[in-house]
Amino acid sequence: MRIQALSARVAFNGRGDPGIEAELSAGGEVGRALSPSGASRGIHEAAPFSPGGPDETARLVSTYKRRVIGEDAADLRGLASTIKKIDGTPNYSRIGGSAAYSISLAAAVAASSARGVLPCRLIDPRCNSLPYPLGNVIGGGKHAGEKSPSIQEVLVAPLGARSVREAIQLNFDVHSRVGRELSSRLPYPVGRGDEGGWCPGLTDEEAIQLASEAAREVADKSGRKIRVGVDFAAGSLYNPKDGRYWYRASGKSVDREGQLSYVAELCDRFDLFYVEDPLQEEDFDGFADLTSSLRGKRLVVGDDLYTTNLERLEEGARRKSTSGVIVKVNQVGTLGEAQEFSSSSKKGGQTLIASHRSGDNEDPHLADIAIGFGCALMKCGIVGAERTAKLNALLMRAEKLDRARMAKVD
């Protein structure tokens, strides 16, 4: 399963942002992968490109590919170690995290094809559970315009669905119902943001209320439980100069204690099951206070808090900061590093969520990452080709993994 050839090019995602696409052959098969990009990026994420930008990042691959050729494409952590050594920096600032990502994913695709197994089975031959899709129905923050909600995402998850297909359909139904309600309520056409969520001129609470009502209506009609969550992306709300969180849609400004109270209030008022990045990314203790106060009734999830970084995960575990963790492979660089992070998360009792990025592409690999890592949720949007590519891949994997069952989400 040795890598026989490697090349890279600049290609583009659904937002028109450049990424690095790697093409790699191993075991007589070819694997390709294109890196995604995020609009809301944690400060501890891997640098996406080398100092010269995307073109230099792609060109550099030809200068070090001889050190990758000959590596075992199926050895995810071994390949990750090699790529990390080639770069030689803590955050891929020399060769670019986009290259590290695409090379490691392309290797997994080629190796799984050569072995005749699904990529998720290459990641974990024993994987046997399927994640629920967690979808963005209303978008705001950095994913939408100035008049949209301040919080980044209002999300739904059909936790009562009995199959992947049913779960996908229920999320579609909630998204459609929200769209119809907005069309009847607002005097102007409502567009969609980077991830396909509606971007109306509503306050944060109005947006959550609307999504909650739509989820309840679809749940009542289908007889299936559908839960609502929120990604605050609080780092984009936070002003480090005065230590306050500012909600542009309502004009609300709160300090740290006010933010903790506000998040808890929204959890109770709308029965939120999931709150992601409710505080700025250095406030481990604030996360811990919220997790403790909610007493396990909600998933308090760290994304920018951790950025798929093992050292930060260990710090969060020491302080008992969260009950859920986001894994995004391109935050850390390689698939092997993300696998190590995910394994440690699950050993620590965290609920694991595999996530797309706002600037994503039609690669289906997130489905294999979510299944292979044993994630309970796959955050992947609801509509748009970049999103449905992941959902359709999840559907196909579910059909082939005929003994797999939907994950348990507390």
Q: Are 325 and 351 in contact (CB under 8 A)?
A: yes
Cα distances from 52 to residues 48, 57, 75, 96, 292, in angstroms, run 11, 7, 30, 10, 45
Three-class SS of residue 347? helix
Backbone angles phi, psi at 154, to 5 degrees: -105, 125
With cut-offs at 50, 70 and 90, classify the pLDDT of residue 271.
very high
| Dihedral sign computed on CA atoms, order 107, 51, 283, 207 | negative
Short-list 97, 131, 98, 137, CA closest to 354: 131
| Distance of alpha carbon 254 from alpha carbon 187, whole angstroms | 31
pLDDT score, position 281: 96
Does residue 83 sit in helix, strand or coil? helix
Element (H, E) at 98: helix 97-115
Residue 410: the pLDDT is 62
Would you state the structure tokens that stand for residue 105, as one six-digit string?
A: 């994913």
Q: Find the length of the chain.
A: 410
| Lookup: tokens for 117 | 């197994």
Top-confidence residue, 146 or 8:
8
Burial (Cβ within 10 Å: 0-12, 13-18, ≥19) of residue 335: buried
Q: Which of 21, 153, 195, 276 is catalytic?
A: 195
Contact 8, 20 (CB under 8 A): yes
Identify the pLDDT of residue 187.
Answer: 82
Least confident of 85-94, 110-119, 174-183, 245-254: 245-254
Angle value at C-alpha 382, between 378 and 384, nearest 5 degrees: 120
In order of start, what are the domains of the chain with their CATH numbers?
3-116 (3.30.390.10), 129-406 (3.20.20.120)
Number of Cα atoms under 13 Å in the Cβ half of residue 259 = 27
Contact yes or no for 196/381 (Cβ under 8 A): yes
Percent of the chain with pLDDT over 90: 90
**Strand locations in 316-379 (E):** 324-327, 351-355, 377-379
Give me the mean pLDDT over the 39-66 stretch. 93
In the numeric block, which tokens belong to residue 61?
A: 């691959």
Segment 21-46 shows an average pLDDT of 92
Integer Cα distance of 135 and 177 in angstroms: 14
CB atoms under 10 Å from CB of 47, counted, come to: 20
pLDDT value of position 142: 80
Contacts from 174-181 at CB under 8 Å and sequence distance 24+? 174/135, 174/137, 174/211, 174/214, 174/215, 174/218, 174/226, 174/382, 175/135, 175/137, 175/382, 175/383, 177/214, 177/217, 177/218, 178/137, 178/138, 178/210, 178/211, 178/214, 181/210, 181/213, 181/214
Dist CA 171 CA 380 (whole Å): 11
* CA-angle at 378, arms to 329 and 74, nearest 5°: 45
Q: Tell me: the pLDDT tens digits for 72-90?
A: 999 999 999 999 999 999 9
Strand partners, 192: 198
pLDDT, one tens digit per residue, over 311-365 is: 999 999 999 999 999 999 999 999 999 999 999 999 999 999 999 999 999 999 9
What pLDDT does 264 receive? 97
Q: How many Cα atoms sit within 13 Å of 51 on the Cβ side?
A: 3
SS (H, E, C) 265-296: HHHHHHCCCEEECCCCCCCHHHHHHHHHHHCC
pTM: 0.96
Can you tell me the mean pLDDT for 203-232? 97
- Known catalytic residue at 297: no
The Cα–Cα gap between 200 and 191 comes to 7
Which residue in the list 328, 340, 386, 390 is annotated as catalytic?
A: 328
Average pLDDT, the chain: 95
For the chain, percent of residues with pLDDT exceeding 70: 100
Q: Give the pLDDT confidence of 95-122 residue by residue, as tens digits.
A: 999 999 999 999 999 999 999 999 999 9
d(CA 34, CA 113): 17
Catalytic residue status for 205? no
Residue 4 has pLDDT above 80, yes or no: yes
